[in-house]
Structure 1
Amino acid sequence: MPSKLIKHALVALLLVATLPARAEVCATDDIGEQVCLPSPAQRIAGLSPGASELLWSAGAGDQVVAVVAWSDYPPEAKTVPSVGSHTRLDLEKLVSLRPDLVIAWVTGNPQEQISTIRALGIPVFSIEPRDFDAVSSVIERLATLAGTEEQGWAEAERFRRGMAELSARYSQRAPVPVFYQVWDEPLMTVNDQHLIGKVITLCGGRNVFGELPRLVPRIGDEAVLEANPEAILAGGMGEENRDWLTRWEQYSSLSATRAGNLFFVPPSLIQRPTPRMLQGSELFCEKLEIARGRR
């Protein structure tokens, strides 16, 4: 292990040891590990754009000292030092920032690098919310670890209540067969176990690829043509880029194309497990309601 990395880690641990004593705080992460800190974290690193956004949602934005590429919300996140991308972390830079807590993405961060962080004695809290209540739960647990319970728990409840209201309004509407495109090359979608798959169900949609075994399956154009969805929704490379939908305009036999039900949803509103998913879900439900009205 590089000597610089060890030196930085020792400095981080000494810093934690010299902080004023407060009551120990503990929370269990999404892989079942209990993470305990001697006092609320003051220097937190978020290793995915979603993790950083969740930290701000939990009221801990002022305590974030490191983010990764594409951490662009809230705008303050763009002013925090970046330690690489979620798939390739700059560990030396991360350790030099002396985090006393690291928020990892279970299936997004390289596990060997996360293991190295743990080996250096830096607490790691792993997250991967798979349903709406889990998003609220993560916010509450992050707020506990950061000592920002009042703001974090209020935001968690706002999200929980908002999603329940959407479900009550839309989940029993006439089903709309839906294809959600999560990526372009290779063409990828989600199954019913994915958080976006749960948005489809909440809005009264029927995910035409919902029963596939993989969480994020790779498919081909032929599979979409065979499934013949009534509506196609997609994000894209950017918050206003509709290019992914032009792919389907060439297929006049598709029900979605014939009806004009090719809908764009800004990806950060639907593809990050954060409170902004409430806004994305509202938009998603509105698009399916448009499709119903065109029958």
Structure 2
Amino acid sequence: MKTLLATFPLLILILCPTATGATSPVTLVDDAGYTLKLDSPAKRIVSLAPHVTELVYAAGAGSRLVGAVQYSTYPEAAKKLPLVGGYTRFDAETILSLKPDLVIGWVSGNPKEQVERLRQLGLKIFLTQPDQIDDVARNIDQIGILAGTSAIARTESARFRNRHKTMAIRYATQPPVRVFYQVWKNPLMTIGGQQIISNVLTLCGGKNIFAQFGTLAPRVTEEAVLAENPEVIIASGMDESRPEWLEDWRRWASMTAVSRNNLFYIPPELIQRHTPRLLDGAEKVCQYLEQVRRTSSAISGLTEGRLGD
């Protein structure tokens, strides 16, 4: 399915690409493989994920949002939207009361059975699954098509793609740095190679030490982390403050990340949401890894100097 979607990311049968409120029908295939048909661009949209809410605004369709899930906090206007529950447990009756002509959800984040319940109630559903950085721009373009705001969406997606390309060129030749990204403490969770944060690490010249896992958020053990001996540990937690458990690693003084004080924090809204701000989080990751490379180079220089003596 992924190959098909990559080959035909915007399967458009009939489309009006302008943002002038035209009423031409629209047909798109979403990231779950479903074909969505709208008689005209959506005017009343409900978002089932915080990152989707932000993408709708990025696509120039924020004024068409009539409801969103909890933690839809960006941009500021999103905080005023009626809430329809959380992304893992939304209220179908509340959604129906808002009379949306389009509901945009999240393949891996929204419970499948709840999404199917909305379909059975007659709602039009479009699901996103941005696993790679480039998918953020693609989803913006798709939402612009669905909402009839393609001109604005294309401008935003082009800006995102250009920034991504610039960063990729800048860090393409940097020495690799081995990274453990911690999602949670209990259970201890990290990211697999198909998770978008792993894509961010790669962009910055980082190497996800658990990239071999196919699941998005695999559980691991402390022993497995110690055996891999990462040069860097990055965490973001669930709120705006540095998670306390990031400091728990200091008891393992022999680990390279600890001995060199390479324990870093990224605000979750910048790294755990699939939005244009993901590149803000990526910039922070890249800066941290550059700092690590400079430190490693200095240590290597001192070691070689001592050996020369």
TM-score, normalised to structure 1's length? Answer: 0.91
Matched, 1:69 2:91: no
Is 1:195 matched up with 2:196? yes
Q: Which moved more, 1:51-60 or 1:184-193?
A: 184-193
Which residue in 1 is equivalent to 2:229?
228
Residue in structure 2 matched with residue 278 of structure 1 by the alignment: 279
Please say if 1:129 is aligned against 2:130: yes
Q: Distance in 2 between matches of 1:232 and 1:250?
A: 14
List per-residue Cα deviations over 1:123-161 (Å, max 9, x = no partner): 100101111221111100100010111111111111111
Paired with 2:224 and 2:71, the residues of 1 have a C-alpha distance of 31
* d(CA) in 1 for partners of 2:192, 2:112: 24
Structure 1 CA distance, aligned partners of 2:74 and 2:218?
28
Matches within 5 A, 1:239-254: 239-254=240-255
For 1:242 and 1:293, the matched residues in 2 are separated by 26
**1:115 partner letter:** E
Q: Is the 8 A contact 1:192 1:207 kept in 2?
A: yes
Contact map agreement 1:177 1:205 (CA 8 A) in 2:
yes
Structure 1 Cα separation of the partners of residues 41 and 169 of structure 2: 37
Partners in 1 of 2:115 and 2:216 — Cα distance?
Answer: 22
Distance in 2, Cα, partners of 1:244 & 1:148: 43
How many residues align structurally? 276
Q: What does residue 16 of structure 2 align with?
A: none
* Correspondence for 1:155: 156
The residue number in structure 1 matching 2:112 is: 111
Q: Give the whole-Å Cα distance in 1 for the aligned partners of 2:274 and 2:214.
A: 21
Residue identity opposite 2:233 in structure 1? I
Structure 2 letter corresponding to 1:287: Y
- Structure 1 consecutive aligned stretches of length 4 or more whose deviation exceeds 4 Å: none
Partner of 1:212: 213
Conserved 8 A contact 1:171-1:201: no
Letter in 1 for 2:272: Q
- 2:34 aligns with 33
* Aligned equivalent of 1:256: 257
Unaligned regions of 5+ residues in structure 2, if any? 1-20, 297-309
**Cα deviation per residue 1:37-63 (whole Å; 9 max; x = unaligned)?**
111111100001111111111111110
Per-residue deviation, 1:220: 1.5
The structure-2 alpha-carbon separation of the partners of 1:21 and 1:121, relative to structure 1 and needing over 3 Å to count, comes to: farther
Q: Is the 8 A contact 2:194 2:214 kept in 1?
A: no
The structure-2 alpha-carbon separation of the partners of 1:101 and 1:286, relative to structure 1 and needing over 3 Å to count, comes to: same
Contact 2:193 2:214 in 1 (8 A): no
1:95 aligns with 2:96: yes
In structure 1, the gaps of 5 or more residues are 1-19
Contact 1:234 1:244 in 2 (8 A): no
d(CA) in 1 for partners of 2:243, 2:291: 18
Structure 2 CA distance for aligned equivalents of residues 183 and 53 of structure 1: 24
1:294 is paired with a residue whose SS is helix
Counterpart of 1:23? Answer: 24
* Alignment check: 8 A CA contact 2:56 2:62 kept: yes
How far has the Cα of 1:162 moved from its partner? Answer: 0.8
Q: Which amino acid is 1:155 matched to?
A: E
User: Is the 8 Å Cα contact of residues 235 and 244 (structure 1) preserved in structure 2?
Assistant: no
**Alpha-carbon distance, 1:23 to partner:** 0.9
Corresponding residue for 1:10?
none
Q: Against the structure 1 CA distance between its residues 177 and 96, is the aligned structure 2 distance closer, same or farther, given a 3 Å change threshold?
A: same
Q: Secondary structure at the match of 2:179?
A: strand
> Paired residue for 1:8?
none
Over aligned residues, Cα RMSD in angstroms?
1.3
Q: What's 2:172 paired with?
A: 171
Percent identity, please: 46
Deviations 1:198-242 (A, max 9, x none): 111110011111112322110121111111100111101312334
Question: What is the deviation of 1:122?
Answer: 1.1
8 Å contact kept, 2:22–2:41: no
Q: Which amino acid aligns with 1:25?
A: V
